Amino acid sequence: MFISRAAGWWVTGCLTLGVGLLLASQMPGSNGDPTVEERIVSIEDVRLGDRVDTDASSVAKQQAISTVDQRPYWDLQPVSADDWKAVKLQVSKDGDVFDVQLLRPNRWFLENEVVEGGQVHLELPEQSIDDPAEVMQIGDCPTLAPGRGRIVTGLISHVRGGILNLHVEELAKPIGVTSNHPFWSEDRQAFVTAGELKPGEHLQSGDKTVTLRRVDAVPGERRVYNLEVHGDHIYRVSCLGILVHNASAKTYPRDYQTKNTRQQSANYNSEGEARALARQKVGKNPVDVGDNKLRSQDGRWQYRAKPVDTNQNHVHLEKLDPVTGEVLENWHLNYPEGS
């Protein structure tokens, strides 16, 4: 991956130990003016605040990011050491432990009530994480690398199987990767997961393409790594600078009612009709935010997933402020008993 380190240096799967990333460091030149120096580091040595080269075609960049409405506010504002902090999180899921480090603005910590020893809900779709995360440590924002490229705002690591070795022309060693990590396919003009890539497919490498020779399955488990890259959500791996997509950690604030919450109701002919409206509001692939609540991907609507949650004949639907979690409208979608 292309990275810049101060001292010289809304995606998917992970890369294995030792996969190289190409870094671009801003160093003083012979005439005193800063110059960019590129070097390779292993993915496990990347740190929060490092900077990665995200040069790519407009088509690739557009596919890598969500629309502005879908992207969290911190992804649209500059990373600043003055009002951003680092946080270490840990998620335990199905016997697996995910170690997560994030850079987030102070506002995020306040809105999500993030404190050491507490919890915050974390969503990493590519890792199948939609669970509470333990807050292990909160610290100051590290030194941010100068120069071009985008800041690394997230590091994710865990142990898993299902590893593939991608053998690419001009590379002496294969790229170790999980099957669900997306690579940019020049042939399809799309990000394609490693497990779906075909031998002979062309991958984007700097200002040229390289050919995927073969894909081998790797037995056993390995520690794997992924990054969250601010703004562009792409980076480059190996000395060839092969373009890949990154992971993105999304969190949802806790919902809460205030004296300004509007209490609303609407009548329906049946429970099924009321629930159909609630499902329509939360849209496809709703997020389980706990307490039996399903929330829309954009954080604007949520409803109680099970009827046993209420003792009356209504479906509980809430309209939220997606940033703060404040309940703006509390709807009871009423239906006749026994319908």
Q: Does residue 178 form part of some domain? A: yes
pTM of the model: 0.63
Q: Using pLDDT thresholds of 50, 70 and 90, give the confidence band for residue 2.
A: very low
Whether residues 195 and 164 share a domain: the answer is yes
Pick 167 or 1 by higher pLDDT.
Answer: 167
How many domains is the chain built from? 2
Task: Classify residue 61 as exposed, middle or buried by CB count within 10 Å of its CB (0-12, 13-18, 19+).
Answer: middle
What pLDDT is attached to residue 293? 84
Higher pLDDT: 294 or 148? It is 294
80 belongs to a structural domain: yes
Nearest partner of 318 among 338, 285, 292, judged by Cα: 292
User: Where is the domain boundary, 218, 245, 272?
Assistant: 245
330 and 224 within one domain: no
Distances (CA, A) of 257 to 9, 31, 159, 260, 325: 47, 61, 40, 8, 9
Q: Are residues 126 and 274 in the same domain?
A: no
pLDDT surpasses 80 at 272: yes
Cβ(2)–Cβ(235) below 8 Å = yes
How high is the pLDDT of residue 339? 62
Residue 179 resides in a domain = yes
What domain range is 23 assigned to?
16-245
CA distance 43 to 47: 9
**b/e burial code for range 209-223 (CB count within 10 A of at least 16 → b):** bbebeebeeeeeebe
Number of helical (H) and strand (E) elements in the chain, helices listed first: 3, 26
d(CA 264, CA 107): 30
Q: Output the pLDDT for position 49.
A: 93
Pick 238 or 335 by higher pLDDT: 335
Q: Which of 217, 245, 273 is the last residue of a domain?
A: 245
286 and 170, same structural domain? no
Calculate the dihedral angle through the C-alpha atoms of 231, 232, 233, 234, rounding to the nearest 10 degrees. Answer: -150
Quick one: 211 and 142 in the same domain?
Answer: yes
192 and 306 assigned to the same domain: no
Task: Report yes or no: 181 and 194 within 8 Å, Cβ to Cβ.
Answer: yes
> What does the pLDDT average to over 279-303?
81
In a domain, 117, yes or no: yes
Is pLDDT of 196 > 70? yes
**Final residue before a domain boundary, out of 245, 275, 299:** 245
Residue at 339 is within a domain: no
Same domain for 84 and 190: yes
Alpha-carbon gap, residue 281 to 300, rounded angstroms: 9
Question: Using an 8 Å Cβ cutoff, are 232 and 61 in contact?
Answer: yes
CA geometry: angle 11, 12, 13, nearest 5 deg: 150
Query: What is the DSSP track for 268-291?
Result: -SSHHHHHHHHHHHH-SS-EE-ST
CATH number at residue 43: 2.170.16.10
Q: Does 122 share its domain with 262?
A: no
Section 284-288 average pLDDT: 72
How many CB atoms sit inside 10 A of residue 288's CB?
15
Q: Are residues 231 and 82 in the same domain?
A: yes
Is 6 contained in some domain? no
Taking only the tens place, the pLDDT of each residue in 22-70 is 455 444 444 554 444 555 677 788 899 988 776 666 766 666 665 444 5
Is 15:226 a contact under the CB 8 Å cutoff?
yes
Q: Are residues 50 and 161 in the same domain?
A: yes
Same domain, 222 and 266: no
